[in-house]
Amino acid sequence: MRYSLVLFFSSIFLIANGQLSSSHPLSSYGIGEYNTGSNAISTSLGFVNASMIDSGFVNYYNPSSYSRLSKGNTLLSLGIDSRFSMYSQGGVSENKIGSMVDHFSLGLKMNKLMGMSFGLKPYSKVGYEFSENVYTGVDSLRYTYTGIGSLQDVYLGFAISPIQTANSHLSIGFNTSYLFGYVSNDRKSELINGSTDQGGLSKDVTRLSAFHYELGAHFQQNIGSRHKLLIGFIFDPSQRFNATLDNELYTASNINAPEVYDTISYSRMNGFVEVLSVYELGLKYQIFFKETKRKSNTRRPNLTLFASYKKWNGIQSDFETPSSNWEIGKADKWSVGMSYSPETKLFENVATLKAFEKLNYRIGVYQMNLPFSSNGINYVDRGTTFGFGIPILAQMSLSSLNFAFVLGQKGNGNDSSLKENYLGFNFGMVFSPSAFEKWFRKRKLD
């Protein structure tokens, strides 16, 4: 238990201070890149979220999933997200790598009909750095553009199942949370001269702090004894978040020494950032195959198909100075995934299973139409995902290790526009107490 607490608080610290060191330059717009889901399980299935309902997985994107958690098992979920990007434009290329601890969540079943979860999850992120050299006719200047920051959600969610029969299950839930964080876009100019480091720095820092809520629901219907159909839905209503925008301008004899900066101007504007409604509709179809007889045992494989469609209706700001306002257009994403388990009843047959028969295998594809364009052509983010899950069966718990890999590309098909090829890696850990070490156990004294 002592080590569990150390891991618990260490994880919170890492998440609160984790920063993605590099991402796409288009994340400089607004409050950063949309968060499309970063848990290793949903990532390996093509970033499906609405229909990813499972008793051994805390799906904080669809709060209705909390009521489906396994009774008597508390789940602690952590994730690490890494990405290697290869940028190219006009014959020039550059490589970047970044990683961060992206979430912490804890979920538990409250009673037969209700479940809850709380933790910290990502909302949006900014992370990029690139530079260009410009000759003015007198001096040579280097402009360096840098973006850092992220928005996080500290959430508390509940779910209840008003309908729960042997063949049907309806669940509804909600997350209420506090959204906080900042994103900073900087432009640094410096003389390319061996005798001086003189230059200037312009900073635009947007800070948000506000309450936030989201809704979720799903319905599952058993079709005979070997088929299950689930429909999931997520809705994030339009909401206005309190925001401030700082415009800062500095000059310095040594631009690489912040302690010698001279302030040219500084202003702070209060206002709002309005995130328009977001929704996702997902399907899950599970097939349990007939038992396969062997000499000493029986195998019960299952196959699960996933599909989802997500729609963002845009983001816009409303600050005191109209010229500082910005607007992000609509975006949408579709995802298709598939998972295969060689054995459905792991605990019953753990002694007779081979190593590869204990794993869960996942694959998916996705395409997201981004709200950005170049030369009148919109950017598209598309890719293929795959991964696997390793259950930890030694202590008869729901603990697991999950791995996801992403091969993707962002671009608009125009050779003169910026293109990104990337390889993503996501590692997720789900910890659960063993059958003989229950967390939050209710004890009764005689």
Whose structure tokens read 């997200």? 81
pLDDT value of position 20:
43
Task: Please report which confidence band the pLDDT of residue 36 belongs to, taking 50, 70 and 90 as the band edges.
Answer: low
Pick from 62-71, 73-82, 109-118, 266-275: least confident: 73-82
| 118 assigned to some structural domain | yes
CATH code, domain with 360:
2.40.160
Higher pLDDT, 82 or 130: 82
pLDDT in tens, 161-220: 999 999 999 999 999 999 999 989 888 888 777 666 788 888 999 999 999 999 999 999
Q: How far apart are CA 389 and CA 126, in angstroms?
A: 29
Task: Please report which confidence band the pLDDT of residue 445 belongs to, taking 50, 70 and 90 as the band edges.
Answer: low
| 254 assigned to some structural domain | yes
Task: Please report which confidence band the pLDDT of residue 313 belongs to, taking 50, 70 and 90 as the band edges.
Answer: very high
Number of domain units in the chain: 1
| 420 assigned to some structural domain | yes
Q: Is 77:12 a contact under the CB 8 Å cutoff?
A: no
Beta strand 92-109 pairing with 114-125: antiparallel
| 437 assigned to some structural domain | no
| 372 assigned to some structural domain | yes
Taking the CB of residue 175, how many other CB atoms lie within 10 A of it? 25
| 375 assigned to some structural domain | yes
| 218 assigned to some structural domain | yes
pLDDT in tens, 40-55: 999 999 999 999 998 8
Q: Is 241:179 a contact under the CB 8 Å cutoff?
A: yes
| 71 assigned to some structural domain | yes
Q: What is the pTM of this model?
A: 0.85
Task: Tell me which residue range forms the domain holding 369.
Answer: 2-431
Higher pLDDT, 398 or 177: 177
